[in-house]
């Protein structure tokens, strides 16, 4: 006879949210509450900024005062440096939300006296914590603090004592450390005693700078294990992905017109699903931008906002060229319904582009977004990186229920049903444009390669650009 199983109660693992965009998503809620976290990386990787933002956002967003104890930069230098990110550290200190206590350690004096331990540090740090009721602590950096210890045995013992003291105080601590040549840190010991270890990396590949973040370990909690790109911008640190990691987007049933009646007819007479992603691919001169402009104008005529990211032509060039086919965008621009964001992909890296796109979308709050063309990103990244970027962007757009249209350049007839950016599997509807030679004349054609969740025509239609707009002719013979 089987004994009845007792219902076991599982203690919930508490975490301290950082408030850093994207970071709390990949850690499942933030850093381990009441425990130390090691943040290590090479010089310039972003350790100090990440640690300070953890404190500032804790004080401002979560009402958790913090203590910052640097061993290299003094308070005046820190206040000046972080003012560029909009952090008013003086104000936080005046409101007793933050204490900055610079500790100067002179290695030559330690060598002369031969004495060095952490008792004085514990007294000083404990006083700072108690003075404001701090819940968060940052020690920056370990190398300066432990430079006086003569041997690894003493260093390990004192390091364990420091981490144990922080736990006993019940504070959520971030301790920074410099990257070693063959180890995570110079001493190679810190990662074994920390409950959470975060590795920051700043690399340059083909003259393009990229910052990466990886969670090496997180005791008692699941976490993302990939390398995640992150940026340091005017708003602080942003870790990608910045949206939900799960596929839980809502599937809309409402439709939006493409702006071309005959194309809508090929899609059950109703157009694209709202919140879906549309890919328009084709060779040069097949009419990709014309189709994107038609969707943009149609949305604006319905009093919806459209945000158009152009990576090849200027706003004036696009508006002039579209007037030649009867698509006049000027009225929508004057009303503020259509906004262009024009830049060259080579101006900065993929992550910086993604951050700028996110920021602009949040500012404009459009119903429709156009990116023309996404293949221009090949100049600043390889297909796997571009696919990763576009995946995160599509995730963000679907989460906000924004209809998106991407154009993609096909370089040869052999690649008509292949995209260099390798994103065709991610989109909901794929429209292919091509030019076919017929009787010594080049004729444009259009067909729908796929459209998820709806019946759609599989016929190839003639695609004509006229002075009165885009017209789909008879089925191509």
For residue 148, pLDDT over 50 is answered with: yes
- Residues 149, 185, single domain; the answer is yes
Residue 76 lies in a domain: yes
Radius of gyration of the chain from its Cα atoms, rounded to whole angstroms? 28
Tens digit of each residue's pLDDT (9 = 90 or more) over 405-435: 999 988 654 444 555 556 778 899 999 999 8
CB 10 within 8 A of CB 199: no
Same domain for 230 and 343, yes or no, is no
pLDDT at site 112: 40
Distance of alpha carbon 352 from alpha carbon 241, whole angstroms: 13
**Cβ neighbours of 404 (radius 10 Å):** 24
pLDDT band at 10 (very low <50, low <70, confident <90, very high): very low
Spatial contact of 254 and 273, defined as CB atoms under 8 Å apart:
yes
Whether 48 shows a pLDDT value over 50: the answer reads yes
Q: Give the residue, 227 or 444, on which the prediction is more confident.
A: 444
Domain membership of residue 63 (yes or no) is yes
Q: What is the pLDDT of residue 1?
A: 46
pLDDT in tens, 127-138: 999 999 999 999
Position 187 in a domain: yes
Q: Are residues 114 and 145 in the same domain?
A: yes
Task: Outline where 217-329 has alpha helix (H).
Answer: 261-266, 288-301, 315-323
Q: Are residues 259 and 407 in the same domain?
A: yes
Confidence at residue 396, expressed as pLDDT on a 0 to 100 scale: 85
Residues 284 and 308 in one domain: yes
- pLDDT at res. 424: 77
Residues 213 and 261 in one domain: no
Inside any domain, residue 246? no
Which of the pair, 352 or 73, is modelled with greater confidence? 73
pLDDT digits (tens, 9 = 90+) for 12-31: 578 999 999 889 888 889 99
Helices (H), 118-251: 119-132, 142-145, 152-169, 190-193
**Structure token digits, residue 178:** 């410099």
Q: Cβ of 43: how many Cβ atoms within 10 Å?
A: 8
Q: Of 173, 207, 239, which residue is a domain's last?
A: 239
pLDDT for 236 beyond 50: yes
What's the rounded mean pLDDT across residues 44-60? 92
Whether residue 245 lies inside any domain: the answer is no
Residue 3 or residue 13, greater confidence? 13
Last residue of a domain, one of 181, 204, 239: 239
Q: Which of 62-71, 195-204, 383-392 is the least confident region?
A: 383-392
pLDDT of res. 7:
43
Q: Among positive and negative, which fits the CA dihedral 452, 457, 463, 464?
A: negative
Q: Which of 170, 82, 159, 80 is nearest to 126 (CA)?
A: 170
pTM, full prediction = 0.70
Q: What was the pLDDT predicted at 58? A: 95
- What percent of the chain shows pLDDT beyond 90? 47
Specify the higher pLDDT residue, 34 or 207.
34
Range 284-294 average pLDDT: 94
The answer to whether residue 7 is domain-embedded is no
Other beta carbons within 10 Å of 52: 26
- Of residues 118 and 75, more confidently modeled: 75
Domain range for 378: 255-475
Which of 147-161, 350-364, 446-460 has the weakest average pLDDT?
147-161
Query: Do residues 272 and 228 both lie within one domain?
Result: no
Band of residue 8 on the pLDDT scale cut at 50, 70, 90: very low
Instruction: Give the orientation angle of helix 288-301 with respect to helix 315-323, to 10 degrees.
Output: 90
User: DSSP label at 414?
Assistant: G
pLDDT given at position 433: 94
- Does one domain contain both 229 and 267? no
Q: Is the dihedral of CA 20, 25, 29, 30 positive or negative?
A: negative
What is the pLDDT at residue 190?
58
Do 277 and 357 lie in one domain? The reply is yes
- Residue 442 falls within a domain, yes or no? yes
192 and 296 both lie in a single domain: no
Q: Give start and end residues of each alpha helix (H) in 269-422.
A: 288-301, 315-323, 330-334, 350-364, 383-399
Instruction: Identify the band that residue 162 occupies on the pLDDT scale cut at 50, 70 and 90.
Output: confident
Instruction: Give the model's pLDDT for residue 476.
Output: 56
pLDDT at 119 over 90: no
CATH of the domain at 467: 3.40.50.300
Nearest to 60 by CA among 37, 88, 101: 88
Pairing of strands 208-218, 196-205: antiparallel
Helix (H) or strand (E) holding 450: strand 441-451
DSSP 8-state assignment for residue 373: -
Q: Please, what is the average pLDDT of the chain?
A: 83
Report residue 319's pLDDT band, with 50, 70 and 90 as the boundaries: very high
183-228 pLDDT, tens digit each: 666 666 556 678 899 999 887 665 566 788 989 889 888 777 778 8
Between 366 and 2, the higher pLDDT residue: 366
- Position with higher pLDDT, 360 vs 207: 360
Query: Could you give the C-alpha distances from 368 to 303, 343, 398, in angstroms and in order?
Result: 11, 19, 11
Of 208-217, 249-258, 358-367, 445-454, least confident by mean pLDDT is 208-217
pLDDT-based confidence at 32, cuts 50/70/90? Answer: very high
Structural domain includes residue 249: no
pLDDT above 70 (res 358):
yes
What mean pLDDT is predicted for residues 263-267?
A: 95
Residues in the chain: 477
Last residue within a domain, chosen from 239, 266, 300? 239
**284 shares a domain with 348:** yes
Q: Give the chain's domain count.
A: 2
Compute the average pLDDT of residues 310-337. Answer: 95
CA dihedral (85, 87, 90, 91) in degrees, to 10, reads 150
Mean pLDDT, residues 354-372: 91
pLDDT of amino acid 423: 75
CA dist., res. 335 & res. 170, Å (int): 56
**Same domain, yes or no: 297 and 408:** yes
**According to the per-residue pLDDT averaged within each range, which of 2-6, 67-71, 218-222 is highest?**
67-71
């Amino acid at each position: 006879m089987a004994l009845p199983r007792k219902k076991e109660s599982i203690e919930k693992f508490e975490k301290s949210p950082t408030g850093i965009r994207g970071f709390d998503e990949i850690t499942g809620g933030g850093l381990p509450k009441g425990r130390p976290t090691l943040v290590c990386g090479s010089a310039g990787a972003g350790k100090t900024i990440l640690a300070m933002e953890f404190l500032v956002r804790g004080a401002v967003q979560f009402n958790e005062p913090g203590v910052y104890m640097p061993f290299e930069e003094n308070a005046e230098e820190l206040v000046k440096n972080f003012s560029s990110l909009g952090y008013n550290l003086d104000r936080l200190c005046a409101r007793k939300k933050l204490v900055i206590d610079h500790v100067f350690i002179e290695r030559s004096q330690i060598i002369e006296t031969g004495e060095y331990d952490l008792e004085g540090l514990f007294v000083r740090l404990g006083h700072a914590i108690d003075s404001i009721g701090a819940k968060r602590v940052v020690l920056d950096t370990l190398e300066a603090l432990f430079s006086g210890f003569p041997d690894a045995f003493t260093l390990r013992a004192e390091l364990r004592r420091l981490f144990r003291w922080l736990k006993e105080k019940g504070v959520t601590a971030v301790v920074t450390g410099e990257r070693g040549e063959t180890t995570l840190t110079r001493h190679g010991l810190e990662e074994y005693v920390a409950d959470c270890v975060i590795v920051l990396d700043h690399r340059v590949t083909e003259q393009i700078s990229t910052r990466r973040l990886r969670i090496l370990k997180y005791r008692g909690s699941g976490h993302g294990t990939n390398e995640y790109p992150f940026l340091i911008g005017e708003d602080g640190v942003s870790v990608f992905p910045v949206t939900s990691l799960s596929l839980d987007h809502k599937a809309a049933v409402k439709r939006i017109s493409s702006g071309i009646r005959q194309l809508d007819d090929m899609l059950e007479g109703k157009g694209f699903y709202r919140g879906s992603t549309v890919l328009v691919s084709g060779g040069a001169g097949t009419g990709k931008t014309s189709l994107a402009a038609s969707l943009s104008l149609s949305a604006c005529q319905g009093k919806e906002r459209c945000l158009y990211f152009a990576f090849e032509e200027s706003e004036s060039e696009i508006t002039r060229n579209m007037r030649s086919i009867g698509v006049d965008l000027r009225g929508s621009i004057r009303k503020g319904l259509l906004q262009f964001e024009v830049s060259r992909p080579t101006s900065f890296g993929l992550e910086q582009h993604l951050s700028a796109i996110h920021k602009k979308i949040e500012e404009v709050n459009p119903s429709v977004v156009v990116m023309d063309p996404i293949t221009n990103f090949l100049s600043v990244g390889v297909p796997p990186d571009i696919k990763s970027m576009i995946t995160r962007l599509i995730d963000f757009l679907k989460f906000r229920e924004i209809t998106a249209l991407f154009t993609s350049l096909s370089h040869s007839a052999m690649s008509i049903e292949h995209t260099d950016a390798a994103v065709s599997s991610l989109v909901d509807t794929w429209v292919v444009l091509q030019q076919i030679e017929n009787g010594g004349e080049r004729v444009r054609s259009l067909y729908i390669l796929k459209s998820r969740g709806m019946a759609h025509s599989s016929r190839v239609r003639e695609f004509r650009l006229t002075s009165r707009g885009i017209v789909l002719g008879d089925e191509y013979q």
